[in-house]
Amino acid sequence: MKNKNKSFSLVELLLVSALLPFAGLVIYGTFNSATKIYQRLNQNIFLEEINFFLDNFRKDLKDTLVFNGIAFKGESKRLEFASFVYEDFCQAQLPGKIIYQYDPYKKVLQCQRFSYTKVFGISGQPQVTELKGVVDLQFKYYYYKPETKEFVWEESALYDKLPLAVRVDFALEHDGKENPFVYTVSLPIAS
């Protein structure tokens, strides 16, 4: 009987050990490329979310109106004012109340939209949107002081008149970094 040896030769082992690093390099390149694409897409989603939220903030403030029963109230972490709000029932823009409120414990800037019927408790829940990952936030209000003849940023809104502009300073956490943002909106109705 013939004894057949079922093992690898030295040449075969050397050939495989020479090809393994090339295969590893190809696999590493593929995963590295996929990671970079994922990070780029994730960055775009992050910026789109901020732009969407700030665009709604601008639109809400541009639509500010004077309405009995809904005063303009502004503090450093909360902003409340009358504006036009979309009502699902009527499928139209109606006067309503909008509240922007920052919760430092949840790290969330929340926007609540109450249509006229919801403001006075007639029906339904408010529409709620959130911007998550907000590390710090402060609203400021721009006024003209006739006694000193200068324009100033106030920490809270003066209850007898609308501000000329509203500014929001905030920082967002993304990829372990704090990204600062400053956004200012002028109010066309203010005088």
Domain boundaries, the chain: 49-186
Order of strands, edge to edge, in the sheet holding 78-87? 73-74, 78-87, 92-103, 108-115, 127-132
What count of residues does the chain have?
A: 191
Kindly state the average pLDDT of the residues 118-141: 81
- pTM: predicted TM-score of the whole model, two decimal places: 0.73
**13: three-class secondary structure by DSSP:** helix
Query: What is the per-residue pLDDT for 21?
Result: 84
**155: three-class secondary structure by DSSP:** coil
Chain centroid, CA 115 distance in Å:
23
User: 116 or 74, which is more confident?
Assistant: 74
Tokens of 16: 């495989």
Q: Each residue of 30-48: pLDDT tens digit?
A: 878 777 777 776 666 777 8
Percentage of residues in the chain having pLDDT higher than 90: 34
| Average pLDDT score, the chain | 84
